[in-house]
Amino acid sequence: MTGRPLLKLPQMAGRSESEIFFDALASNGADVSAGGTAEALLEPFSAALAAALEARRDDLAVQGQLLPGAAEALAAVGQLDGVVQTVLTGSSRLGAMLKLRAFGLDGFVDFDIGGYGSEVYPKGTLIRVARESAGLKHGTTFGEDATVYVADSPRDVDAAKIGGAASLAIASGRASAAELRDAGPDAVLPDLTDTAAVVALITRLTDPR
């Protein structure tokens, strides 16, 4: 996008593609004057990234990893009365769809109401936008006390607080359970293998009583 090699990788855990992109421009001293502004480069970058992901979609199932218990947890939570599941991710919408489709998880979530990394908003704001989109699409109101963000990084836990959502932190990413607990989530699990525990916690966190 800039005609320069990427020499310094920015911090990526818990961040959106747009945040990573702008940070990479700054940390690599990229001259964006030819493209107008950094914001003007985001759209062609997102398009190029989507094309690269599409070209390698078959690699996802081979080189990627399905977390133990993920499918069972999504299926079980999806059976709860009134529950709508979506994704709030640092990936683009296409990237999220390709990743979930590679492991047969795409049927559990509503991609239309999700929040994606190609949008120039912090995740806390995306939580609020997704909640409003869900309410409009499904003809109901999803309040803050009815929203749970399943997170795997301290930044995600912080985003849940900003976005007015409860957070269930899963130590399946780079952050340990202790690091997640220090961020102050509403609950922590070591992984997704205990389906009953996932369901019980989400039920408790969305019960106004």
> 51 in a domain, yes or no?
yes
- Number of structural domains the chain divides into: 2
Residues 55 and 88 in one domain: no
> 158 in a domain, yes or no?
yes
Residues 143 and 106 in one domain: yes
> 5 in a domain, yes or no?
no
Residues 34 and 26: their CA atoms lie apart, in Å, by 15
CA angle, 106 then 111 then 115, to 5°: 125
Inter-CA distances, 183 with 13, 134, 146, 156, 172, Å = 15, 27, 21, 9, 15
> What CATH number has the domain bearing residue 200?
3.40.50.1000
pLDDT digits (tens, 9 = 90+) for 52-108: 888 988 898 899 899 999 999 999 999 999 999 999 988 888 889 999 999 999 999
**What residue numbers bound the domain in which 37 lies?**
17-60
> 8 in a domain, yes or no?
no
Whole-prediction pTM: 0.82
Residues 200 and 161 in one domain: yes
> 150 in a domain, yes or no?
yes
Residues 30 and 54: their CA atoms lie apart, in Å, by 27
Residues 101 and 136 in one domain: yes
pLDDT tier for residue 35 given thresholds of 50, 70 and 90: low
Please name the residue that has the structure tokens 């961020």.
183
Residues 37 and 110 in one domain: no
> 156 in a domain, yes or no?
yes
- 197: nearest Cα among 84, 73, 33, 104: 73
Mean pLDDT (the chain) is 89
Residues 85 and 35 in one domain: no
Residues 191 and 172 in one domain: yes
pLDDT digits (tens, 9 = 90+) for 71-80: 999 999 999 9
Q: Which residue has the higher pLDDT, 151 or 123?
A: 151
